[in-house]
């Protein structure tokens, strides 16, 4: 009986300990960034400096041309996963926390073409 209770306790403790990504647990936490985020003033220049000037998402490349708003909007779930959650885009180095928080906020507000 003691072994069963011990195993039950150990199982409960181990199941309670798991690792989650902060971005998935707190999707509306923008790292303290409370400014207004627009596509024209924030997102497009960010993409230009981090994504579309590289050999990855420039016009004519096999990867989607993220400089085009409609293509970006169609791929927003992939962008969110790769740039914000996994942080493996851009390939050279992750974006700054400020840019990641701006991108998170822009997506949470509907990824508008404003």
- Tens digit of each residue's pLDDT (9 = 90 or more) over 80-98: 888 888 888 887 778 888 8
- Is the entire prediction scored with pTM above 0.95? no
Per-residue pLDDT for 102 more than 60?
Answer: yes
Find all residues with CB under 8 Å of 71, minimum gap 6, and list them.
64, 65
Residue 102's Cβ-count burial label (10 Å; 0-12, 13-18, 19+) is: buried
108, 27 contact by CB (below 8 A): yes
For residue 106, what pLDDT is reported?
Answer: 92
**Side-chain half-sphere exposure of 96, counting CA atoms within 13 A:** 7
Rg (CA), the chain: 19
Convert the pLDDT of each residue in 46-71 to its tens digit: 888 877 666 676 665 656 667 678 88
Spatial separation of the C-alpha atoms in residues 76 and 25, rounded to whole Å? 19
For residue 75, what pLDDT is reported?
Answer: 85
Per-residue pLDDT for 40 more than 80?
Answer: yes
């Amino acid at each position: 009986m003691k072994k069963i209770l011990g195993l039950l306790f150990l199982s409960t403790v181990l199941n309670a300990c798991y690792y989650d990504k902060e971005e998935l647990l707190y999707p509306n936490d923008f790292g303290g960034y409370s400014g207004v985020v627009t596509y024209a003033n924030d997102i497009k220049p960010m993409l230009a400096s981090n994504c579309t000037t590289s050999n990855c998402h420039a016009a004519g490349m096999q990867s989607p041309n993220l400089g085009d708003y409609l293509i970006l909007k169609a791929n927003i779930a992939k962008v969110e996963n790769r740039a914000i959650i996994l942080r493996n885009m851009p390939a050279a180095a992750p974006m700054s926390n400020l840019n990641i928080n701006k991108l998170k906020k822009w997506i949470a507000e509907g990824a508008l073409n404003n």
